[in-house]
Structure 1
Amino acid sequence: MTNTAFDQIFRDSNGEIVIAQPPNLPLIVTIAASVLKLLFTTGNIYTGLDLIAFGSLFTWAWEELFQGVNYFRRALGFCVLVAAIASKI
């Protein structure tokens, strides 16, 4: 079997096409903190939730960048990491 560019980009080690996966803990924390930021719009609670949301999104992106199952997931981690940092600059 030849390994095409499509296979290298979108398939994992088992040969399955992987584009999306169930969310892992850092992504769940990011979503929860972001939703809570909608309820607490000012003050120290908002600042803390913003820090938690950013930190967990950074962690998720870092994990995808270095441990992603295929090149697509690694590129996704890189793009999210760059976007998260750029949003704070």
Structure 2
Amino acid sequence: MLRKFLIWFFRNRETGVITVAQAPNLILWIAIVAALLRWAWLSSGQAGVALTVIIKGGLLLWAADEIVRGVNPWRRCLGTAVAIYEIVTTLS
């Protein structure tokens, strides 16, 4: 029973293969590059704020895309978890 659930949870609905991770899309690449720049500069000025907005906004957009178009329940749950995390850390 657990095996059936795991196969259902991770099976790609488009290809039928098990999908845990995928190559980043454009939105996620932009967030990754912004995060690397933020980490490298450790800027607390306007550039740092702009990079933080790009990171959080990019991750929220990526999460929304996964929630709507994720290829399996795992990807949709991952998108939901990232969205909740970003919203909670932004509001706190």
Runs of 4+ in 1 over 4 A off after TM superposition: none
- Taking the aligned partners of 1:74 and 1:80, their CA distance within structure 2 comes to 10
1:40, CA displacement in angstroms?
A: 4.4
- Taking the aligned partners of 2:19 and 2:58, their CA distance within structure 1 comes to 22
- Taking the aligned partners of 2:72 and 2:56, their CA distance within structure 1 comes to 24
Match of 1:11 in 2: 11
Aligned match of 2:88 in 81, 86, 89? 86
What is the alpha-carbon root mean square deviation over aligned residues? 1.1
- Taking the aligned partners of 2:25 and 2:66, their CA distance within structure 1 comes to 11
| 1:4-83 map, 5 Å | 4-13=4-13, 14-38=15-39, 39-83=41-85
Deviations 1:31-51 (A, max 9, x none): 111111121411111111111
The runs of 5 or more residues in structure 1 that have no matched partner are: none
- Per the normalisation by structure 2, the TM-score is 0.87
- Per the normalisation by structure 1, the TM-score is 0.90
Q: What amino acid is the match of 1:22?
A: A
- Taking the aligned partners of 1:40 and 1:76, their CA distance within structure 2 comes to 28
